């Protein structure tokens, strides 16, 4: 049985300011206005004979993940929450342990657990040719069943410094696969060119296929601490709504290590199957431009963009007009609260700006001005000394928690839709142009009982307006 495992735990800092810690690139519609990267990965599985997917993501992204899975009608998909990131070797270990248990369910002797074949996929990659991807997976299955730990190599089209490489070893007869002679870290420009010229190096896609049994055997050999911590974390896990929550203390003891460093570079069972399917890890702005395509002046333009004498640029306008004149080789990305201007030669170093933001205690690398919640979203329109204004959207049938604030009062004005507002023991309905005042310390709740989104303006006033000034007494979504 093929078990797809979608790893969605990264933060994608090289794609700042679009990708941020609380809304990273796997949850953004970077390539398709109707699908996020995660949703495109789920759609890519259609047509494979496989079990429902297991999604592994960070706990802070649980509602984003659950909503996007729901939108894809993946009702049987399961979501496993990591309390903190520990890289890909532990994530796949959890999937191996979990899938083997699932497959062995009802079989006391556990014989069929060996058939749990894990297809481990990053949630934030692009693959343009789904049929070719399916064909590569089918070609890799016999190798995985024979005990190989299979990775997928991308035949290089250029001397790329942003990817790791695989050096092909001997061909494996009658399979189309190869032994892996060497895993190579991201090279400098000269070595990347040498690999391209040599002809026996492929890009490392970070996609894997192997049996749960054989992966766990190799993990026990090379990373026993990872295996022990993951066993303990899964053994202490609990079901919570749509999620599987790991034992946080047990998982915190797990080493932080990738599957490449932890297992694949050490095992003698590594094999590689070529994947020619229009793959990209979309790990930089140039990689995104490569997938989106360029116009006659080699520009990639998205949003409200006006150009004159502009060449070889990627320009993304999120909320306003961006106009350029007489520039080339730039990345320009505008959002509601930040603008990035970078030379293409420096795009791999965007994370240094993110590090500066963190060092300065700022929040532009953590959260967008427009923030998503399990009930809908809000846009922080304006703020100043002792006040903040938000535009709030509540989805039909959704509701905010019963809560109170120690440091702020709130005034809600309904723009459209219907609001059911609870203030203490009283409940009333508000419609367009009606408003309500919530005094400091007042217990209150908000619900959209209607069939269309509820839009309202919230004006906060008080001595402290942080999101952590929320005391929840009751929450439909299980938040503290």
How many structural domains does the chain have? 3
The answer to whether residues 200 and 336 belong to one domain is: no
Give 419-470 as a DSSP string. Answer: EEEEETTEEEEE-TT-EEEE-TT--EEEE--SSS-EEEEEEEEES---TT--
Instruction: Tally helices (H) and strands (E) across the chain.
Output: 11, 30
Q: What is the pLDDT of residue 225?
A: 97
Give me the chain's average pLDDT, please: 93
User: What are the tokens at 87?
Assistant: 């890289």
pLDDT higher than 50, residue 370: yes
Q: What range does the domain containing 375 cover?
A: 370-474
Residue 385, domain CATH: 2.60.120.10
pLDDT higher than 90, residue 79: yes
Predicted confidence band of residue 455 (pLDDT cuts 50, 70, 90):
very high
Instruction: Please report whether residue 165 resides in a domain.
Output: yes
Among the ranges given (91-95, 109-113, 256-260), the one the predictor scored with the smallest mean pLDDT: 109-113
pTM for this prediction = 0.88
The answer to whether residues 229 and 324 belong to one domain is: no
Residue 39, domain CATH: 3.90.550.10
* Averaged pLDDT for residues 203-213: 96
Give 218-275 as a DSSP string. Answer: HHHHH-HHHHHHHHHHHHT-EEETTEEE--HHHHHTS----HIIIIITT-S-EEEEE-
Q: What is the pLDDT of residue 241?
A: 74
The answer to whether residues 261 and 295 belong to one domain is: no
Predicted confidence band of residue 476 (pLDDT cuts 50, 70, 90):
confident
The answer to whether residues 254 and 296 belong to one domain is: no
Q: What is the pLDDT of residue 56?
A: 97
The answer to whether residues 353 and 377 belong to one domain is: no
């Amino acid at each position: 049985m093929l078990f797809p495992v979608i790893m969605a735990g990264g933060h994608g800092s090289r794609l700042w300011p679009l990708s941020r810690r609380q809304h990273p690139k796997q949850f953004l519609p970077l390539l398709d206005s109707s699908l996020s990267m995660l949703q495109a990965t789920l759609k890519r599985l259609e047509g494979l004979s496989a079990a429902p997917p297991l999604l592994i993501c960070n706990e802070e992204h649980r509602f984003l993940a659950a909503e996007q899975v729901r939108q894809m009608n993946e009702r049987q998909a399961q979501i496993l929450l990591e309390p903190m990131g520990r890289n890909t070797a532990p994530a796949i270990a959890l999937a191996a342990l979990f899938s083997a248990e699932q497959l062995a369910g009802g079989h006391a002797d556990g014989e069929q657990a060996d058939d749990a074949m894990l297809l481990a996929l990053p949630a934030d990659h692009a693959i343009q040719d789904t049929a070719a991807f399916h064909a590569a997976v089918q070609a890799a299955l016999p190798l995985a069943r024979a005990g190989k730990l299979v990775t997928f190599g991308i035949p290089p089209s250029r001397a790329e410094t942003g990817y790791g490489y695989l050096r092909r070893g001997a061909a494996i007869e009658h399979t189309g696969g190869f032994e892996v002679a060497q895993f190579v870290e991201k090279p400098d420009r000269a070595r990347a060119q040498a690999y391209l010229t040599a002809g026996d190096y492929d890009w490392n896609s970070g996609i894997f296929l192997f049996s749960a049994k054989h992966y766990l055997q190799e993990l026990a050999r090379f990373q026993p601490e990872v295996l022990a911590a993951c066993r303990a974390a899964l053994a202490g896990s609990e079901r919570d709504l749509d999620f599987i929550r790991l034992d946080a203390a047990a998982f915190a003891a797990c080493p932080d290590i990738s599957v490449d460093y932890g297992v694949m570079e050490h095992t003698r069972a590594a094999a590689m199957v070529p994947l020619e399917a229009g793959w990209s890890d979309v790990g930089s702005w140039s990689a995104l431009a490569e997938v989106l395509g360029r116009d006659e002046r080699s520009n990639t333009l998205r949003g409200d963009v006006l150009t004159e004498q502009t060449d070889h640029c990627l320009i993304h306008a999120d909320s306003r007009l961006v106009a350029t004149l007489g520039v080339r080789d730039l990345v320009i990305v505008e959002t509601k609260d930040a603008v990035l201007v970078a030379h293409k030669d420096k795009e791999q170093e965007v994370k240094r700006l993110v590090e500066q933001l963190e060092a300065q205690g700022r929040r532009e690398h953590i959260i967008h001005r427009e923030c998503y919640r399990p009930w809908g979203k809000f846009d922080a329109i304006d703020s100043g000394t002792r006040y903040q204004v938000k535009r709030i959207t509540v989805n039909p049938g959704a509701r905010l928690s019963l809560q109170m604030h120690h440091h702020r009062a709130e005034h809600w004005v309904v723009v459209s839709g219907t609001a059911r507002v609870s203030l203490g023991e009283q409940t009333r309905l508000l419609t367009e142009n009606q408003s309500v005042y919530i005094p400091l310390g007042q217990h209150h709740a908000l619900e959209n009982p209607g069939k269309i989104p509820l839009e309202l303006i919230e004006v906060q006033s008080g001595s402290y307006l942080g999101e952590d000034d929320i005391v929840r007494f009751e929450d439909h979504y299980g938040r503290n």
